[in-house]
Amino acid sequence: MQEFARRRQRVIETMRAAGGGVAVVCTGAEVIRNRDSEYPYRSDSYFRYLTPFPEPQAGVVLVADADRSEAILFCRPKNEERETWDGFRYGPAAAAERFGFDRGASIESLDEEMAGLLANRPALWCALATTEALDASVRRWLAAVRAQARAGVTSPTRLFDLNHVLDEMRLVKDAQEIAAMRRAARISSAAHLRAMRAARPGRREYELEAELLYEFRRNGADAPAYGSIVASGRNACVLHYRANDALMNDGELLLIDAGCEIDGYASDITRTFPVGGRFGAAQRALYDIVLEAQRAAIETIRPGARFVDAHDAAVRVLAQGMIDCRLIEGPLDSAIESGAYRRFYMHRTGHWLGLDVHDCGDYREPARGAAGDPLREDSGAAGDATRSRILRPGMVTTVEPGIYVRAADDVPIAFHDIGIRIEDDALVTDEGCEILSIDTPKRAEDIEAAMNG
């Protein structure tokens, strides 16, 4: 539990630098799916970053004064009857001891305790404007403190967005987080390879989804990190295709975007391969363009580079490939400046990865805070590439160029309904980057070899 305690202490030190106060991070209750069946439960990612406590309806409260601090875990009380039906509960005392908190308290007492903790303290730190339930709780807590004004009690005069602090912390992964992400990527790579070997004409997309899920769970993954995309033929041109029920036909490509979650940390891998085991000429031409675009993007990922560099490198390769295939007209710089390539490549080349698949963290470089205000950011245009985030060791980003060609009268018929994406998970290291998903075949000849034994 030492790493989680260090994270909580970092939050406390940030709070002290801004004058102190009380911070609260809560994780929700189980949610009914239908009738009396719940959705599978997963802790809120910000809560999970501060403690691995696994039960729903819990909260972490951190108190930061100039000369003292306190970390409190609020959770459900022991209840023998409910434990008979739903399983073991730690209870406040055991939970605090097991998970390294100064003390534990019942979640049922959170409102009362927050009113006392906020009294005569300068600030409240929480996730601002994220849920109506939290906003309502904040109003109750502050109203309870303000009601004591005539007794000489002062209420907080400042609200800070705690998520902003945690976003910056979560952006750079520690050794524990990296180990979980490596394992998630290894399991996901095995699942993609299993799907390649199981693919053949006449099967349904959901049959390969089942192969993915089997490989995830048999290797100890918590769950899929997101809804798996198994998209054959024209379905691959739908970026967030979810049906996964079409019949796969010989001569089509199959795009699979899938990854598992380990200890809350996600992997995110995409591979595109021929249902029949061999790429056609037009398919191979576009596939090699996307693969070269990814190679160019990966080469830019190193400490000191900008996040946007990978996208810019990929776009140059993709746009030139589109010109060569007569999907768009050149010259290259004009095609990029006009955005003509966006017809066939409409998304960015990567995103942060971590506790969330599209993980938190600003994509622009924040300025140093003014004295006493560690949260201040610089001003400037959002699209200014010079302000794109500078990469540092421990950051993890996906690298996922693609080409998506829908059938149209002005598109060469050989390329109709071809959708291709190649996605890997890249950890920024001291020397450059490590591809966590390196075990997943992606050269066309390697894919064909894997599919054909």
Active site residues: 36, 240, 257, 268, 347, 351, 358, 400, 404, 421, 423
Record the tokens describing residue 451, joined without a space: 């599919």
- Do residues 227 and 261 lie in contact, with contact meaning Cβ atoms separated by under 8 Å? no
Alpha helices in 225-305 (DSSP H): 281-299
Angle separating helix axes 307-324 and 281-299, nearest 10 degrees: 150
Give the span between the Cα atoms of 371 and 215, in whole angstroms.
51
Give the span between the Cα atoms of 4 and 1, in whole angstroms.
5
397 bridge partner residues:
352, 426
Eight-class DSSP state of 386:
G
Give the span between the Cα atoms of 88 and 206, in whole angstroms.
35
Reported as half-sphere exposure (CB side, CA atoms, 13 A), residue 74 has a value of: 22
In the block, which residue shows the tokens 């008979």? Answer: 84
- Do residues 274 and 280 lie in contact, with contact meaning Cβ atoms separated by under 8 Å? yes
Q: What's phi and psi for 91, nearest 5 deg?
A: 80, 155
